[in-house]
Structure 1
Amino acid sequence: MATPYPTPISLSKTCIGWTDIGLMGSPMASHLLSVGHSFSIYARDPSKALQLQSKGVCLINSQQDLAKISDIFFTIISGPPDVCSIILGPQGVLSSLNPGGVIVDMTRNHPALAREIFKPARKKDSWSIDAPVSSIDVGAREGRLAILAGGDIIQWLSPLFRIMGKHMYVGEAGCGQSCKIGNQIVGSANPLGLSEALTFAERAGLDLKKVLEGIRRGSAGNMIMELFGPGGFAESLVKDLGMGLDLLESEEERAVALPGASLCKQLLCGMIANGDEKLGLQGLVTVIERINDIQK
């Protein structure tokens, strides 16, 4: 380690660690590498690291070893069980992170788990930030992610966040994940309304292209319409909405009635039951069509 917090981040001296290297993680890491940051990675599947290795990135054998040499350790993995194991497990990142070291978890995670990571990190004079992203893989490739950051020292991390997209401080530890869940609730409800509108228009014998253009020009038009195509998988979105609905059962959270999110989750489960788990939000229209006995 050369520049742990609060030493300012240095292009040549700050040591960045990263796991995992997948659909989102690889382009995000590549942006940091492209501006000259010192970089090492841990990959559970080493074959996914080959492209970054060809650019000079060092592959480390374990997350523990990587944490020992990292000023800042980024994680973007599959969900809460992996986050718990990789960060909090006996062989996890936190067990080896040095004082002043910073964990930045960009995974879709549960707010309570983000707070659970933050507390032991502070006890050992380290830091933990929950910073999930709002966008699809195109946003990661083009450096246009919306980064929803919860926790302290966000300003210190801003030089790195700006390379990957635009960041916003949304509150204390766990708030980034809560904001992400809110984003997913809105992001799921809009395509559901659009799916029903298109099904209604089709039954009415309308030209669907003209219907879409009419909606786009009116007050119902929004960015979700432009993303009405491949995006987050249905199986991932079910987990995201499930985390919001699970808050109703948590002693740490106030009960919130989320009937729309519950309905969206059930319809996404219908997609999965129909074998469409790898479709994005645009696949909701297939469920609405089946309910209305529209065969395609």
Structure 2
Amino acid sequence: MEFNKDQTVVGFVGTGVMGKNMAGHFLSAGYQVHVYNRTKAKAEDLIEKGAQWQDSPGELARHCNVIITMVGFPRDVEEVYLGEQGILGNAKPNSYLIDMTTSSPALARRIYDAARERQMYSLDAPVSGGDVGAKEARLSIMVGGDRDVFDKVLPLLEFMGTNIVYQGEAGAGQHTKMCNQIAIASNMIGVCEALVYARKAGLDPTTVLKSIETGAAGSWSLSNLAPRIIAGNFAPGFYVKHFIKDMGIALQSAAEMKLDTPGLALAKSLYEQLAAMGEENSGTQALYKVIDK
């Protein structure tokens, strides 16, 4: 199948911080786009730009042959795909289903199997890069599913990302995203501790950052989130509550593999403290507030 603009109708479920920009790239490229979000107000910008609103994931699925989902939690993914008004019960055979939510590898395999039974094609394709990556179409996309399906939809994924890697069979994309989140979890502790240390030592954190962000300590979080911390900007590029969810999935998957991840466990406990402070809807950089008590 060629995904040209005359034959391809894109459906996008989930138009929040990330999804709104991701869906917008298809509109900008001239594709017909249908959208659904639990809160319609979050889709208004896209509707004003030409997207067509649908009242449920199932209704959206009936109009589209490529359906992309970017929702919050595994329970949302399950409802969107397997629920009474879900995608799998309403999409046409030969539809392409791409879940870009960070979710459970086991659930990704369930959706893959259910899609295959209905002659549909399913990929799990979680992303990394935050709100900036979504806006600038340079997300890192890690993909699980059948290789031939990945090869076919790659031109569509390129509207949203630049580092797009096929990782293996169904669930492999989600497992890769868990690796990503595990690496970020401990790193964010280090970023926040370093900035608090700099301030306590009487240093200018911005000047310190100039020295350390390009050396061995360098990381995406240090370069992109540390400046936000210094500026007192704790708005979400990625929500604390969603990061806690991701760490929970990673800890469960690690336990199933009999793998001990002490850094991940510590990070989750600190982020849970942050959420208890009323910061669950802040960005992940708000961990600074726990370290700087």
TM-score normalized by the length of structure 2:
0.90
Alignment of structure 1 residues 1-296 onto 2, 5 Å: 7-152=1-146, 153-166=149-162, 167-228=164-225, 229=228, 230=234, 231-250=237-256, 254-290=257-293
Distance 2:19 2:207 in 1: 38
- Alpha-carbon deviation of 1:278? 2.9
For 1:121 and 1:265, locate their aligned partners in 2 and report how far apart those are by CA, in whole Å. Answer: 33
Larger Cα Rg: Structure 1 or Structure 2? 1
1:229-248 per-position Cα deviation (integer Å, ceiling 9, x unaligned) = 35322221111111100114
Partners of 2:266 and 2:131 in 1: how far apart?
26
Number of aligned residue pairs: 281
Is the CA contact (8 Å cut-off) linking 1:188 and 1:281 kept in structure 2?
no
Amino acid of the residue matched to residue 80 of structure 2?
A: I
CA distance in 2, matches of 1:65, 1:284: 40
State the Cα distance separating 1:203 from its structure 2 match: 3.8
Q: 1:232 to 1:43 in 2, by over 3 A?
A: closer
Indicate if the aligned counterparts of 1:85 and 1:92 stay in contact, CA closer than 8 A: yes
Q: CA separation of 1:218/1:50 partners in 2, compared to 1, >3 Å: closer, same or farther?
A: closer
1:227-279 deviations in Å (ceiling 9; x for gaps): 123532222111111110011454xxx22111100000011111112222233
Which residue number corresponds to residue 4 of structure 1? none
Contact 2:145 2:171 in 1 (8 A): yes
For residue 109 of structure 2, what is the amino acid of its counterpart?
Answer: R
Structure 1 partner of 2:231: none
CA contact (8 A) 1:13 1:38 kept: no
Kindly provide the amino acid, as one letter, of the partner of residue 117 in structure 1: I
Q: Tell me by how many angstroms 1:217 deviates.
A: 4.0
Q: CA deviation at 1:123?
A: 1.3
- Structure 1 distance, partners of 2:119, 2:139, is 29
Q: CA deviation at 1:53?
A: 2.1
Q: AA paired with 1:262?
A: A
Question: Does the CA-based 8 Å contact 2:27-2:33 persist in structure 1?
Answer: yes
Q: Retained in 2: the 8 A contact 1:215–1:221? A: yes
Distance apart, 1:39 and its partner CA: 1.7
Gaps of at least 5 residues in structure 1 are 1-6, 291-296
Identity %: 38
1:183-217 CA-to-partner distances (Å, cap 9, x unmatched) read 11112221211222233344444443343222224
Letter in 1 for 2:174: Q
